[in-house]
Amino acid sequence: MAIVIDKSQRWRVLAAHAFLILLCALVLFPVLMTISISFRPGNFATGSLIPKTISLEHWRFALGLPVTNADGRVIIPDLPVLRWVWNSVKVATLSAGLAVLLSTTAAYAFARLKFAGKKASLMGLMLMQMFPTILALIAIHAIFSRLGHSFPLFGIDSPWALVLAYSGGIALYIWTIKGFYETIPVEIEEAATVDGATPWQAFWRVLLPMAVPILMVVFLLAFIGAVNEYPVASVLLRSQDQLTIAVGSKQFLYAQKYLWGDFAAAAILSGLPISIVFILAQRWMISGLTSGANKG
Amino acid sequence: MSMPQALKRFLQPALMILLSLVGLYVVALVYATGETLLAGIMLVTLAGFVWIYSSQKTYAYRYLFPGIGAALIFVVFPMLYTIRIGFTNYSSKNLLTFPRATQYLLEETYRAEGATYNSTLVSEGGRWRLRLEDADSGAAFATEPIALVPEKPQTLKAQPLNVPLAGDEMPMMDLISHQAFLKGLTVLMPDGGQIRMTGLREFAPSRMQYTRNKDGSLTNNQDQSLLRPNMKTGFYETATGDTVDPGFQVDIGWKNYVEIFTDAGLREPFWKIFIWTLVFSTLTVVFCTTLGMVLAVLLSWESLRFRSVYRLVLFLPYAIPGFISILVFKGLFNNNSGEINLLLSTLFGIKPTWFSDPFLAKTMILIVNTWLGFPYMMVICTGLIKAIPNDLYEASAVAGAGPITNFFRITMPLIIKPLTPILISSFAFNFNNFVLINLLTGGLPDLLNTTVPAGTTDLLVSYTYRMAFGDAGQKFGLGAAISTVIFLMVAVISLIQIRSTRIVEDPKR
């Protein structure tokens, strides 16, 4: 009896491995292909997975260094990849900082203070998050182009407009931080209050230092969210120099200007750091992910 | 700490008053530029700020104000404003607000009869004199030296010039950059005529094209005809009904909605796109969940080695930024030079046209989206499977059940219930998966015989995006109306989700 089970078990294990290896191959195929293409000479060349001749022209292009063509012409890269990455980092850092700032105090009120309309506003925050920003894109464009008439700093084509537009999407972060505050025993703050601390001091000096890990998680979530955000950025940013990498990357693959190899290098250059941050922070984020952020 | 209590008590209200005064000043400035709505929102925000941070009763709201305020202004308000725009004719033809369109017309000039003057700017002691030379007689005139600071429109007097000017002439490049300033100039000639800039190097008598009358109509100074604003069409119109650009935004009631559901060139693509949106989101959820669940079951199987390696590799699609993997697939699937077609043509001798055939394009979209989406479902299902008590499987092993029976009788029924809200939210997400469509196919290939461009692979959201920001003439009003329809659909989906979440949570209580 035991031998029979073992035999069928062995077959099943083998079948499972075969299936998983096939799937891993399908997952890795685009990744490895991109790496291979980025080292392949030319934008239209075809070849095997391991390129026969390794060329750094695409990497030079992505880094903004002049490239010497096969026929001897020198090409100055016209797509400012590094500048786009820098724009993304700038916008993402500012908006993630703002998101932490705005959501941490609001979450404190929801977790610790009593006020009228608490339940309704919590529910409202959850409802708000169900309607994707993309549906309000036309209004966002109209609002910021009108805002730009009065305050050019916050008009179309300004990174500050993007920071402002992202600052409202904090419902999920408020919920995440509120959940964390609720795991901290309220007695610690009460002890501080007994010793004469104001509620603000109890929050700032006692609760907040204990909440640093969750604030890091929210910062990273907001940072990655802002770097990956495409729709709002594609509407608010127009000129080449202001684009974020998410909007700019599209320009590599126009039918009339197809820079496949250059794109591969730029994709690795910009995608690798984000992916690494994401995988490292993944364990922290699982709680955040399961509570609603979703992709796919 | 060392600050005296009295000073502290005085400082707070003082700061508050100072802040609100500055705030009111800014609001007044904005209101003066004609942005009533913006000024109103700023005023309400300011009033809320002052009230909440000065009253003890509103203590809790001090913590909420910044965050909730941002959410209200930048999330809720744009959504309401979208609905509002859906009832207007806002588009590239009717782009301006009524006051701005009127102002535009009132700034129009026309060339009146009289002498033309060749103009040059001549420097003199760091400032500039405008030199005017009669094109016919050659008589020269000049103004006093002026600074070219972009100020409000001003009137200058020109005097006959007896001694030639010695300074350098301004080059063309600089002239162009000072054009706005020069256009605001009115020069009073010695003979009493008024001239304005009519070309980069030319001044001529020009008059304002329109004069505003008390009843809001405009009189054309050239031919004395009347223009009346038509608040139904959003244009100034002549007596015969001809429209004059630029148009302005007006309310048109339900017209956009009537158009979506009756105009054949809009209705047919709308329903086709709606059905594809449903098919796309349903199939995505089915594929991602099936694959994710099978993988979760396999990776929870303890007899399997290298599970953590598999898990790490299979998690990759989730970690790579979406915009990058979608564009990578766009390149890999390329009809001619894409690596996938190279592989298929060497292996099977076929070269599917992924981007020009509607069915193949849809297939490709589903393949890519499954690749992107299954890791999330895998992670979720792994978590849910961990929560299933092990003795259930032990009991079924005693009863002699195999893995297939286990899956369909124990695993699946136990995780499908808590999974339901996540499936619905995933459905809602893909219902609006704009990034995938916009970056991968852009909605192409297009449908035929449509009023505005509509693609066979377009989702409702990418359809409205193309309507508003594509090459179809910025139909913001129509796009906003369709967005409002999608709002309602999402609201229904959300309602179902809240219900199902409640069903999941109830037994726990």
Q: What is the pLDDT of residues B208-244, one digit of tens each?
A: 788 888 888 888 887 888 888 888 888 888 888 788 8
Domain edge (last residue) among B178, B208, B238: B208
Is B250 inside a domain boundary? no
**Backbone angles phi and psi of B167, in degrees to 5:** -70, 175
Per DSSP, B448 falls in state S
pLDDT range class, residue B509, cuts 50, 70, 90: very low
**Residues B489 and B407 grouped into a single domain:** yes
Is B228 inside a domain boundary? no
Higher pLDDT, A288 or B136: B136
Mean pLDDT, residues B284-304 taken together: 91
**Residues B313 and B388 grouped into a single domain:** yes
Mean pLDDT, residues B60-84 taken together: 89
* CATH code (residue B289): 1.10.3720.10
- For residue B197, pLDDT over 50 is answered with yes
Q: B77: distance to nearest CA of chain A, Å?
A: 9
List the structure tokens of B408.
């369909």
CB A146 within 8 A of CB A138: no
Q: For A249, which of B77, B284, B323 is closest by C-beta distance?
A: B323
Is A246 an 8 Å CB contact of chain B?
A: yes
Sort out which chain A residues have CB atoms less than 8 A from B476's CB and list them: 138, 141-142
- Measured CA to CA, the distance from residue A2 to residue A9 in angstroms comes to 10
Interchain CB distance below 8 Å, B380 and A290? yes
Determine the Cα angle at A17 with ends A13 and A275, to 5°.
140
Mean pLDDT, residues B369-384 taken together: 92
CB B274 within 8 A of CB B459: no
ipTM: 0.87
Interchain CB distance below 8 Å, A170 and B332? no
Interchain CB distance below 8 Å, A295 and B318? yes
Domain A81-290 adopts which CATH fold? MetI-like fold (1.10.3720)
Question: Model's pTM, two decimal places?
Answer: 0.83
**Residues B364 and B488 grouped into a single domain:** yes
Structural element, H or E, at residue A38: helix A2-38
Inter-chain Cβ pairs, chain A and chain B, closer than 8 A: 270
Q: What is the largest CA-CA distance in chain B?
A: 118
What pLDDT is stored for residue A295 in this prediction?
37
Q: For B372, which of A143, A289, A296 is closest by C-beta distance?
A: A296
- For residue B492, pLDDT over 80 is answered with yes
Interchain CB distance below 8 Å, A289 and B379? yes
What pLDDT is stored for residue A99 in this prediction?
93
- Measured CA to CA, the distance from residue B136 to residue A288 in angstroms comes to 79
Which tens digit of pLDDT belongs to each residue from A130-155?
Answer: 888 899 999 999 989 888 888 888 88
- Residue type, position A282, single letter: Q
**Residues B155 and B268 grouped into a single domain:** no
Mean pLDDT, residues B412-423 taken together: 87
Nearest in space to A68 (alpha carbons), one of A87, A50, A91, A42: A42
Is B227 inside a domain boundary? no
Interchain CB distance below 8 Å, A296 and B369? yes
* Mean confidence (pLDDT) of chain A: 83
- Burial level of B150, CB count in 10 A (0-12/13-18/19+)? exposed
Interchain CB distance below 8 Å, A113 and B76? no
Check residue B306 and give left, alpha or beta (phi > 0: left; psi -120 to 50: alpha).
left
Nearest in space to B426 (alpha carbons), one of B349, B334, B500: B500
**Residues B346 and B278 grouped into a single domain:** yes
- For residue B119, pLDDT over 50 is answered with yes
CA B389 to chain centre: 49
Interchain CB distance below 8 Å, B79 and A131? yes
CA B194 to chain centre: 45
What pLDDT is stored for residue A292 in this prediction?
38
Label each residue of B326-358 as H, E or C.
Answer: HHHHHHHCCCCCCHHHHHHHHHCCCCCCCCCCH
What pLDDT is stored for residue A289 in this prediction?
41
- Within 79-98 of A, beta carbons closer than 8 Å to B belong to none
- Measured CA to CA, the distance from residue A82 to residue A90 in angstroms comes to 12
Dihedral in degrees, nearest 10, Cα atoms A45, A51, A54, A59: 70
Give the position of tokens 């979506």.
Answer: B260
Is B253 inside a domain boundary? no
Which tens digit of pLDDT belongs to each residue from A210-258?
Answer: 888 888 888 988 998 899 999 999 999 988 889 999 999 888 888 777 8
| Nearest residue in A to B370, CA atom | A296
**Residues B153 and B32 grouped into a single domain:** no
What pLDDT is stored for residue A288 in this prediction?
45
Interchain CB distance below 8 Å, A171 and B71? yes
Mean pLDDT, residues B443-461 taken together: 87
Q: Which of A41-50, B83-92, B299-308 has the lowest mean pLDDT?
A: A41-50
Is B417 inside a domain boundary? yes
pLDDT range class, residue A290, cuts 50, 70, 90: very low
CB A188 within 8 A of CB A206: yes
List the structure tokens of A272.
């690798």
Which of B12, B98, B248, B328 best probes binding to A when mutated, by most A CB atoms within 10 angstroms? B328
- Within 158-187 of A, beta carbons closer than 8 Å to B belong to 164-171, 174
Interchain CB distance below 8 Å, A132 and B429? yes
* CA atoms within a 13 Å half-sphere pointing along the CA-CB vector of A73: 4
What is the radius of gyration, based on Cα positions, of chain A?
25
Give the other-Cβ count within 10 Å of A254's Cβ: 9
Q: For B321, which of A27, A164, A271 is closest by C-beta distance?
A: A271
**Residues B195 and B275 grouped into a single domain:** no
- Within 121-140 of A, beta carbons closer than 8 Å to B belong to 121, 125, 127-128, 130-140
What pLDDT is stored for residue A23 in this prediction?
94
Which of A21, A84, A104, A135 best probes binding to B when mutated, by most B CB atoms within 10 angstroms? A135
Interchain CB distance below 8 Å, A296 and B374? yes
Q: B17: distance to nearest CA of chain A, Å?
A: 22
Q: B264: distance to nearest CA of chain A, Å?
A: 24
**Residues B269 and B405 grouped into a single domain:** yes
Higher pLDDT, B364 or A13: B364
Which of B38, B56, B63, B439 best probes binding to A when mutated, by most A CB atoms within 10 angstroms? B63
| Nearest residue in B to A114, CA atom | B60
Which tens digit of pLDDT belongs to each residue from B331-367?
Answer: 999 888 888 888 898 888 888 999 999 999 999 999 9
Structural element, H or E, at residue B117: strand B117-124
How many domains does one find in chain B?
A: 3
Is B233 inside a domain boundary? no
Nearest in space to A290 (alpha carbons), one of B264, B318, B199: B318
* CATH code (residue B168): 2.40.430.10
Cα–Cα distances in Å, from B58 out to A111, A198, B61, B64, B256?
16, 15, 5, 10, 43
Interchain CB distance below 8 Å, B327 and A289? no
pLDDT range class, residue A107, cuts 50, 70, 90: very high
**Residues B203 and B276 grouped into a single domain:** no
Q: A113: distance to nearest CA of chain B, Å?
A: 6
Is B243 inside a domain boundary? no
Q: Show Cβ contacts of residue B287 under 8 Å, excluding neighbours closer than 6 positions.
A: B366, B369, B370, B373, B374
Mean pLDDT, residues B359-376 taken together: 95
Mean pLDDT, residues B199-215 taken together: 82
Find the domain containing B140 and state its range: 109-208
Q: A132: distance to nearest CA of chain B, Å?
A: 7
* CATH code (residue B17): 1.20.58.370
pLDDT range class, residue A293, cuts 50, 70, 90: very low
Mean pLDDT, residues A278-287 taken together: 66
| Nearest residue in A to B488, CA atom | A131
What pLDDT is stored for residue B100 in this prediction?
83
CA B297 to chain centre: 42
Q: Where are the domains of chain A?
A: 2-75, 81-290
Interchain CB distance below 8 Å, B490 and A132? yes
User: Which of B56-65, B96-105, B273-282 is most confident?
Assistant: B273-282
Is A148 an 8 Å CB contact of chain B?
A: no
CA B252 to chain centre: 22
pLDDT range class, residue B3, cuts 50, 70, 90: low
What pLDDT is stored for residue A291 in this prediction?
43
Q: Where are the beta strands (DSSP E) in chain A?
A: 67-68, 74-75, 253-254, 257-258
What pLDDT is stored for residue B274 in this prediction?
93
Q: B143: distance to nearest CA of chain A, Å?
A: 34
**Residues B192 and B289 grouped into a single domain:** no
**Residues B405 and B471 grouped into a single domain:** yes
Interchain CB distance below 8 Å, A260 and B298? no
What pLDDT is stored for residue B434 in this prediction?
94
- For residue B282, pLDDT over 50 is answered with yes
- Measured CA to CA, the distance from residue A134 to residue A137 in angstroms comes to 5
What pLDDT is stored for residue A5 in this prediction?
54
Sort out which chain A residues have CB atoms less than 8 A from B324's CB and list them: 249, 267, 270-271
Is B224 inside a domain boundary? no
Q: A253: distance to nearest CA of chain B, Å?
A: 7
List the structure tokens of B193.
């005529």
pLDDT range class, residue A106, cuts 50, 70, 90: very high
What pLDDT is stored for residue A48 in this prediction?
65
Domain edge (last residue) among B192, B208, B224: B208
CA A226 to chain centre: 5
Q: A193: distance to nearest CA of chain B, Å?
A: 16
pLDDT range class, residue A195, cuts 50, 70, 90: confident
**Residues B374 and B444 grouped into a single domain:** yes
Per DSSP, B88 falls in state B
Sort out which chain A residues have CB atoms less than 8 A from B77's CB and list them: 139, 143
Interchain CB distance below 8 Å, B321 and A274? yes
